[in-house]
Structure 1
Amino acid sequence: MRPHRSLLALSVAAGLLGSGLSAPPASAAPHRDPAHADVLFVGAHPDDEYQSLATFGQWKERRGTRTAVVTITRGEGGGNAAGTEEGPPLGMIRETEERSAVGLAGIRDVYYLDKPDFWYTLSAPLTGRAWNRPPRRPDDTLERLVRIIRATTPYTVVTMDPRPFGQHGAHQQAGRLAAHAFRLAADPGAFPRQIAVEKYRPWKADRLLAQNWGFGGPSGPRCEARPAKDPRSGLPVVGVWPGARSRDGRTWAQIERDAARRYVTQGFGSLPAKVTTPPERMPCEWYTVLARGGRPVPAPVRAQRRLRPLYAEFRDWTRRAGMPWLANGAQPAYPARPSATVPEAARAPVVDGRAVPGEYPGPEVALGHWEGTPCAPADCSATARLTRHRDDLYVLVRVTDDRQGAALDARTDCKRHWRTDAVEIALDPGGRSDDTSTVLKAGILPFTAHGGGACAARDADNHQGPAREITVASTVTRPYTGYTVEARIPLALLPAAADPERLTANILVYDSDTGDRTGKSRLAWAPYTGAQADPYVWGTLRLPGYVPPSGRPPRSATLPLDAARSADSRASVEQYRRTGVPLAGGPRA
């Protein structure tokens, strides 16, 4: 069965394929299907679309183009700058934020696939396994997305960059799924029950675009008309200028900022209310053209050699997807790992947030800036010392800081430490991990509310939750000029036996400088992109004389996989009644 479209819709689409993004295909007017969208955005979390809202708003105002959004999770695993909710309750709050934000760009429909958001990872494969965990089939999320494309019949699909380096694994996986679903939705042999039983028709969308946040194109109104190519993939890049003014006189950049500030739980409420960048200095919102006329846009393939496992997996995926050029330059030129020797102390240090002579006989290592706002030494700088006593690793971190961040409640909120001043210690027992599900990561708050001291929790690692077996203490200067954190980490807590020659680690400091639970600057011993979540970056710790006890087999990861449900969302249920698209992209009765 061929996809059905009106001649008007086909002619409009064909005439605009080569004209950039300023005038996307519009609806065949009037379009009677309440579920139809001219543009469908596919993201992983609420707020993933916000840096494209100036684009979607302009398209609607100029041509009446309808955009809908697919959000695969509700962001249950993210931080919360507005309260202590987490898991499904946080997901419901984030749905409300998203619907409010996208409404400013004229978007009414947001479809959730009810997949779990577990924590920040840089691994698309780990994300895929979590989204399709048993008893779900390995293609469950893909099937749901294909169904929504067939239900909403978009001409243009916009998604996230599927490339792996330096971005959330859930963003990568959303881009991968969108690329597959874009192709499979037109194939009558793909998920045939949707056609034979549910009475959907195959649907061939015209264009597939991927957000390209890192593209360094020109600024100002001419950026829309300038032909450009992505330097890595070789694919065309097109843009929409947010400096254009809407009918109410505001720039679309300002409307997008107003929308972003609706995402209060993610700290976006602290963004300045007014956009002060002159319009002529605003760059476009850039999109890589992955497919045109329903087919991938080809580009030269430049194969990389000696790929690490995560990047080899991505290369293999691009070949299966028919877009091998996306793997061009995907693996960065990682710098040499730093290294340090951790001597054994004659006596166990006293964990009290202080270092007395002899407790830490090894050298002091400095932490460097790796993300966020660069800062002077008096603003944020740090050093660390490490030692071992028997089967315990001791870490002491001294931090210089000019302004104290928010004090969180140790009883209810000792988690997601990156929201305020904090220290993080990450340990990969064998130095072979491809993601952090096989490592230990402890986040330590040096001070807490109600005069409390330090507290620690594990996050984004093999086993999240309170870190009761990790002993922590701190001292905080008065008047405030910084703090010292000290920790004892039993090596028995690692997901596998520590290899005394291959153990890798990173030590990180988060600097907030604000009381609104948002971060500003980040430091690390191994200060390269992805320092907190990319084990390929971490430095080597050598433990001379250490022999791990026998009988420590690797432990499987436990991920928090509770997801909010569309059936429990009044807005989602009302949308289903209006559009007829089943909740969570499920089968149509």
Structure 2
Amino acid sequence: MRRRTLLTTALALGAVAAGHAPAHRPDPAHNDVLFIGAHPDDEAQNLATFGQWHEHHGLTTGIITVTRGEGGGNATGPEEGAALGLIRETEERAATAYAGIENIYYLDKPDFWYTLSAPLTARIWDEDDTLERIVHLIRRTTPHTVVTMDPRPAGQHGAHQLSARLAIEAFWKAADPTAFPAPGLAPWRAVRLLAQNPHFTHLLGPDESRKPRTDPHTGLPVLGVWSGTPSRVHRTTWAQAERTASRAYRTQGWTSLHPHVPTDPARLDSDWFTLLADDSRPIEAPVRDSARLRPRYAEFHAWAHRTGLPWLANGAQPDHPRRPSTTIPAVSRPPAGPDAYPGPELPLTHWEGDTPTPADCSATARLARHGDDLYVLVHVTDDRPGAALAPGDVKRHWRTDAVEIALDPRGDSDDTSTTFKTGIVPRTAPHGGPAAERDADHHQGPAPASMRVTATVTDPYRGYTIEARIPLSALPAPADPDRFALNILVYDSDTNDHTGQTRLAWSPHGTPQADPYVWGTAHLPGHTPAPPTPTTPPIIPTEAATSATSPAALTQAHRTGIPIPAPPRPHSSGSPS
């Protein structure tokens, strides 16, 4: 009866967030709603909702952002690390102001690179310290509704997963006087807990958000807030206001978004949220346990059961299709050109972005082994070149035309911190040749000195060919000739604004650049693996901007009375478990 009532009555906009009237209290730190995310754009898809709640119901929203996005791309310049983080903070504050948001609290945790692993993220962030900071901020900001990201692991950034997990735990721990006590901070009992649900975007028009919905995976109720509601403040729809705000996230390339959304109400979508808790109690659903879970999904399954929300793990592990397989033949001399590769030609197929024609973007790859060196040849047909990056700015190569080679030497990695990944651009600015780097792997940074890359770019431009020699000794573990795994990916940009439009992969399922579970297998006949070597921890960049260096954060702290965070405890990436 309780769940049926929620499904039929909680879909109205006011009922989603305004179960209680706005708290008219003099406390400048109070927010009625608190969003908890990982990066300075994670709230972007909900600005239409937060703006409506503010304009039509008088509800204020605050934001906790765990990192400043130092590990993300930069479409506007060469800044990275802490310098990029401060730029992204400025963008976030400008964008969220469209929704009437004034308070953004940064936890100063490092953003490293795109991973699907919440456990790896937890080690970099110091999970207990991050949870304690969130609990304290909930107690200081006293929200009645907490909104967070989707905690489920399939195809989602590990930082998104972990920020959602910590928000869920903090929702209840903030009300527990025994959890992270601090002088002057009383327990706080929030009422509602919502999680972003990105799986209903095909439901358009003003009527869809009013219909009862149930998430097909968890069985929990899903609430919709239509983006087409008019805004008196902006004199347009909230969908248009959100689009204008989103274009403020310039470093992420979002200025390439079309500046205008449809004016036809039937073509506008809604923001969707899974209702996890109401009246401070979890919403229950049937539990469907799965068998034969891979380690990353088994870890999430254990967390969901330990947290008292086991239904969140329903269907958490996707049905992976059969992975492609190939044989990498040995050759008697180093290959040069496609005729020197006796193995099969591997087709790279559409994975993400715009669906291309063969002339727009298509690619094939060939593999060979000479001694202890792996050779990879990738031929790309491409009708328009993307922006040429400077030789020292090829990090985050997906901003333009590029090839990525991902290698899992033992075929048993749960995340890419135990793999070798290299990104290669075929040309550099202003008139340079190819350049390579390592990305999101065991040792992100420059390509190893022993690696060799050549490239041929057609003139007039019709595409390019990249050939790479990768010593197997450069991999983080000896190559297992029977379990070796790899993926080859192509990024295609048809613009000069450092944004990509199309992505291809040999094994294109799911999130293939970050998920070793879906990479193809490759046999190395005749290869004798090197003796085992001691496992070394991955080298992961952890430079983070701090609130102490942010004028906006310092001004906010003075206004709200909430101090900026203390420096994070020393962290260690450690070796993946």
Q: Same fold (TM over 0.5)?
A: yes
In 1, distance between residues paired with 2:56 and 2:258? Answer: 28
Partner of 2:80: 86
1:284 to partner: Cα distance: 1.1
**Seq. identity, %:** 61
- Which of 16, 19, 40 is 2:10 aligned to? 19
- What residue number does 2:517 align with? 536
Answering whether residue 374 of structure 2 is matched by residue 393 of structure 1, we say yes
Opposite residue 26 of structure 2, the aligned amino acid is R
Determine helix, strand or coil for the equivalent of 1:88: helix
1:462 aligned partner: 442
Equivalent of 2:212, from 227, 237, 257?
227
Aligned counterparts, 1:75-154, within 5 A: 75-132=69-126, 138-154=127-143
Contact 1:215-1:230 at 8 Å conserved across structures: no
* 1:22-101 pair list within 5 angstroms: 22-23=13-14, 24-25=17-18, 28=22, 30-101=24-95
* Aligned counterparts, 1:200-211, within 5 A: 200-211=185-196
Which residue of structure 2 lines up, in the alignment, with residue 439 of structure 1? 419
Distance 1:480 1:228 in 2: 50
The CA distance in 2 between the partners of 1:280 and 1:339, in whole Å, is 45
**Aligned runs of 1:406-445 on 2, under 5 Å?**
406-410=387-391, 412-445=392-425
Contact in 1 for aligned 2:507/2:519 (Cα 8 Å): yes
Which of 508, 528, 549 is the equivalent residue of 1:527?
508
- What is the rounded CA distance, in whole Å, between the counterparts of 1:391 and 1:456 in structure 2? 20
Q: 1:270-293 CA deviation, whole Å, 9 max, x = no partner?
A: 111111362222221000001111
| Secondary structure of the structure 1 residue equivalent to 2:541 | coil
Deviation, 1:558, is 0.8
AA aligned opposite 1:209: L
Partner of residue 148, structure 2: 159
Q: Is the 8 A contact 1:162 1:175 kept in 2?
A: yes
Name the TM-score, length of structure 2 as normaliser: 0.95
Q: Report 1:247-258 matches (<5 A).
A: 247=232, 248-258=234-244
Q: How far apart are the structure 2 equivalents of 1:517 and 1:277?
A: 29
Say whether 1:492 aligns with 2:447: no
Alpha-carbon separation, structure 2, partners of 1:30 and 1:227: 32
Give CA deviations for 1:167-223 in whole Å, capped at 9, x if unaligned. Answer: 10000001100000001000011112x1xx2x1111111100000012356321112
Distance verdict in 2 for CA 1:555–1:59, change over 3 Å = same
Structure 1 runs of 4+ aligned residues shifted over 6 Å read 14-17
Q: Alpha-carbon deviations, 1:449-482, whole Å to 9, x = none? A: 1111110000100001110332111000111111
Q: Which of 188, 194, 199 is the matching residue for 1:214? A: 199
* 2:245 paired residue among 248, 252, 259: 259
SS of residue in 2 equivalent to 1:259: helix
Which residue identity does 2:404 align to in structure 1? E
Are the aligned partners of 1:217 and 1:228 in contact in 2 as well (CA < 8 Å)? no
Q: 2:158 aligns with which of 143, 150, 169?
A: 169
Is the contact made by 1:406 and 1:517 (CA closer than 8 Å) also made in structure 2?
yes
Note if contact 1:27-1:38 (Cα within 8 Å) is conserved in structure 2.
Answer: no
Aligned length: 559
2:200 and 2:290 map into 1 onto residues whose CA distance is 21
Q: Measure, in 1, the Cα distance between the counterparts of 2:261 and 2:101.
A: 22
1:557-576 correspondence to structure 2 within 5 Å: 557-576=538-557
Instruction: State whether residues 148 and 585 of structure 1, in contact with CA within 8 Å, keep that contact through their aligned partners in structure 2.
Output: no
**Deviations for 1:502-557, whole angstroms, at most 9, x for unmatched residues?**
01000000011111000111000001111100000000010000002225333320
1:369 to 350, 359, 365: 350
Secondary structure, in 3 states, of the residue corresponding to 2:289? coil
**Structure 1 vs Structure 2 CA RMSD:** 1.7
Q: What amino acid maps onto 1:535 in structure 2?
A: P
**Distance of 1:225 and 1:585 partners within structure 2:** 44
Q: CA deviation at 1:580?
A: 1.0
Question: Who is 1:6 aligned against?
Answer: none
Give the 3 Å change call, closer, same or farther, for CA 277–505 of structure 1 in structure 2. Answer: farther
Q: Which amino acid aligns with 2:13?
A: S
Cα distance in structure 2, aligned partners of 1:165 and 1:328: 11
CA contact (8 A) 1:72 1:113 kept: yes
Shift of 1:295: 1.1
Task: Decide whether aligned partners of structure 1 residues 294 and 581 sit closer, same or farther in structure 2, where only a CA change above 3 A counts.
Answer: same
